[in-house]
């Protein structure tokens, strides 16, 4: 159900630790699988027909479905179990990290120094309130808190180990399948595109930064995040794989890079953590630092406008119950308009869905990329048939750098 982390920052686990983590991973799998399907069938059988009979048409958006379901006892039970499973993912890893934090900090520093891990921390950076004011994803202390004065990596270790439990082996061996899927989609779709500089924004511990360097080994890859512990951890983590990525503590709404500098600006599951004003600020900054012909690529969940009402409701659960207040407001936006308002031309906007790159042969992935995938309820939902959604735009058009 879950596998050991594959890098030099692995934390020793006892039988109790492993049993606890496997139980939580199994519970999450059950919640997002059989329980979620039972809830969907309950809605189809009872609530949708009753609403259509009373109103003359079925619900048109997720908010209407939420209003119908919020009083349902099964939905409440489902939400309670899912909420508790989220908390349990962190509780299953924090004690073992606490016990070995000093040693882990020293080991991470040794890996960075010994293997060339690059971490630039900005002591003057003010962590934005969308991170500091709430325990995002129910993570105790969010992802920025320093737990020691010894080049602390604790929050990064919590994130890395907790997502290993959270994802129950659905996001790749090193939780890096999103990065591999997005970068290889671009490689296959645009074989003439040879980026020299790539920027990953909101990188957390670099799960999806490393794959860009592996896909484009000649490129210089930089990854940024507002969390100092995550940046330190990410640099050691990447170095342990022998992958050269530059990690920097920086706010993506104020990029410390010159104009026309990068060929790719990428982010994954990042925009939904930002208030709308910060999303717009980031997109403008991305446009500024991209070279003409450069690519702004975003991996997220699809906009609500692409989905039927029930699927909107299901994906919006995190906004209501998982300390992600900007989740639904972001997904209610017109992504093309967000890009256009930042300076990208509307006709350059594209969106796609792709299967998980690391779960299938290259030839099969390539065939699906070339034929395309239709939107369905598996978009962004962990489990079999999972599809990742991405959207992007070329600054002034693909090939305009020539």
The secondary structure of 181-250 as a DSSP string is: HHHHHHHHH-TT---SEEEEES-TTTTTTHHHHHHSTTSEEEEEES-HHHHHHHHHHHHHTT---EEEE-
pLDDT score recorded for residue 117: 94
pLDDT score recorded for residue 242: 96
pLDDT band of 42, cuts 50, 70, 90? very high
User: Of the ranges 11-15, 250-254, 381-385, which one carries the lowest mean pLDDT score?
Assistant: 381-385
Residue 60 lies in a domain: no
Extract the tokens encoding 171: 């996001």
Give the structural domain span for 374.
Answer: 169-394
pLDDT score recorded for residue 360: 95
pLDDT score recorded for residue 91: 96
pLDDT tens digit string along 239-277?
999 999 999 999 999 999 999 999 999 999 999 999 999
Residue 153 lies in a domain: no
Whole-model pTM: value is 0.95
Look at residue 1 and tell me whether its pLDDT is greater than 70: no
Residue 177 lies in a domain: yes
Look at residue 401 and tell me whether its pLDDT is greater than 80: no
CB distance 323 to 137 below 8 Å: yes
Question: Domains in the chain: how many in total?
Answer: 1
Residue 74 lies in a domain: no
The predicted model gives 312-321 an average pLDDT of 95
Look at residue 14 and tell me whether its pLDDT is greater than 90: no
Name the helix (H) or strand (E) containing 331: helix 327-331
pLDDT score recorded for residue 195: 97
Residue 80 lies in a domain: no
Task: Report the chain's mean pLDDT, rounded to a whole number.
Answer: 94
For the chain, the distance separating the N- and C-terminal CA atoms, rounded to the nearest angstrom, is 48
The predicted model gives 331-339 an average pLDDT of 97
Residue 189 lies in a domain: yes
- C-alpha 235/C-alpha 288 separation (Å) is 26
Q: What is the CATH number of the domain that holds 250?
A: 3.40.50.150
pLDDT band of 402, cuts 50, 70, 90? very low
Residue 33 lies in a domain: no
pLDDT score recorded for residue 380: 64
Residue 150 lies in a domain: no
CB distance 273 to 323 below 8 Å: no
197-201 and 262-268 strand pairing: parallel
The predicted model gives 115-139 an average pLDDT of 95
């Amino acid at each position: 159900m879950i596998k050991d982390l594959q890098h030099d920052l692995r934390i020793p686990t006892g039988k109790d630790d492993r049993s606890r983590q496997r139980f939580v991973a199994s519970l999450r799998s059950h919640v997002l699988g059989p329980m979620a399907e039972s809830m969907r069938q309950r809605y189809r059988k009872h609530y949708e027909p009753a609403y259509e009979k009373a109103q003359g048409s079925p619900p048109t958006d997720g908010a209407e479905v939420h209003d119908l379901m919020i009083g349902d006892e099964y939905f409440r039970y489902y939400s309670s179990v899912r909420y508790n499973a989220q908390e349990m993912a962190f509780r299953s890893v924090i004690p073992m990290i606490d016990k070995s934090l000093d040693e882990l900090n020293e080991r991470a520093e040794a890996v960075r120094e010994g293997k060339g891990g690059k971490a630039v921390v900005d002591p003057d950076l003010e962590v934005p309130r969308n991170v500091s004011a709430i325990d995002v994803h129910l993570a105790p202390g969010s992802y920025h808190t320093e737990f020691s004065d010894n080049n602390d990596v604790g929050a990064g270790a919590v994130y890395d180990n907790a997502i290993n439990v959270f994802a129950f082996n659905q996001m790749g061996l090193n939780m890096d399948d999103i990065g591999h899927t997005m970068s290889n989609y671009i490689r296959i779709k645009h074989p003439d595109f040879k980026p020299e500089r790539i920027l990953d924004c909101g990188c957390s511990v670099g799960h999806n930064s490393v794959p860009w360097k592996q896909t484009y080994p000649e490129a210089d890859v930089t990854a940024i995040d507002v969390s100092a512990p995550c940046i330190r951890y990410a640099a050691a983590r990447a170095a342990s794989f022998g992958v050269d990525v530059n990690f920097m503590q920086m706010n993506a709404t104020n990029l410390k890079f010159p104009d026309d500098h990068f060929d790719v600006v990428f982010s994954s599951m990042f925009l939904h953590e930002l208030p709308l004003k910060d999303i717009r600020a980031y997109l403008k900054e991305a446009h500024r630092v991209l070279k003409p012909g450069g690519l702004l690529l975003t991996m997220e969940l699809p906009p609500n406008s692409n989905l039927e009402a029930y699927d909107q409701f299901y994906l919006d659960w995190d906004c209501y119950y998982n300390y992600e207040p900007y989740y639904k407001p972001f997904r209610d936006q017109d992504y093309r308009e967000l890009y256009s308002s930042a300076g990208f031309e509307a006709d350059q906007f594209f969106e796609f869905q792709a299967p998980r790159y690391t779960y299938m042969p290259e030839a099969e992935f390539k065939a699906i990329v070339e034929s395309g995938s239709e939107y369905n309820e598996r978009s962004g939902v962990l489990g079999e048939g999972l599809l990742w959604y991405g959207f992007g735009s070329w600054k002034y058009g693909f090939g305009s750098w020539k």
